[in-house]
Amino acid sequence: MWRTFILLCLPLPLLLLFFAYKHLLKRYEIRNFDLTAPVDGRTLTCSQPQELFISQPFAERARLKARLYNLLRESLYDDSKGVVNIAREKEIKHLASKLKDDRMRLAGRGASLDS
C-alpha cells in the first residue's frame, strides 16, 4: 500500500518544479536563453555586447591591488622554499604604502573605495 502511495505521489513534486520553472522563465522574460548550445557543442553568443565603464582612479587602485596580491602570493611560495627576494619585498612595501596613502587621501576627501 505504501509503495503504491509513494509511486503515485512522486510525480507530483516533479510536475510542480517543471511548471514553476516555466513560470519563472515567462515572468522574467528569459526568451533568448539557449539551453541547447552547451549540449550541442555550439558556442554561446550574446545578443548585445555590453560595456562596463569604471573611473580611472578605481581602475588604477584595482591594478595596484592585483599586482600586490600576485607579489604576496609569489613571496609566500618562495618563503616556503626558503628563498628571499629583496627586490620583490621592496616592491611589496612600495605598493602597500601607495595603497595606504591613496586610501588616506580619499578618506580625507570624503570618497570611499573598499579595500
Tell me the pLDDT tens digit for each residue of 70-102: 999 999 999 999 999 999 999 999 999 999 998
The length of the chain is 115
Mean pLDDT of 42-68: 81
The cell for 10 is 512522486
Confidence of residue 111 (pLDDT cuts 50, 70, 90): low
User: In b/e form, how buried is each residue of 41-75, taking b as 16+ CB within 10 angstroms?
Assistant: eeeeeeeeeeeeeeeeeeeebeebeeebeebeeeb
- For cell 591613496, the residue is 102
Would you state the pLDDT for residue 36? 56
Q: What is the pTM of this model?
A: 0.49
At 26 the three-state DSSP class reads helix
- Whether 63 has a pLDDT exceeding 60, the answer reads yes
Would you state the pLDDT for residue 9? 73
Instruction: Please say whether the beta carbons of 68 and 103 come within 8 A.
Output: no
CA–CA separation, 115 vs 103, rounded Å?
8
Question: Would you tell me the crossing angle of helices 86-109 and 56-81 to the nearest 10 degrees?
Answer: 150
CA–CA separation, 64 vs 66, rounded Å?
5
- Whether 113 has a pLDDT exceeding 90, the answer reads no
Would you state the pLDDT for residue 53? 82
DSSP annotation of 48 reads: S
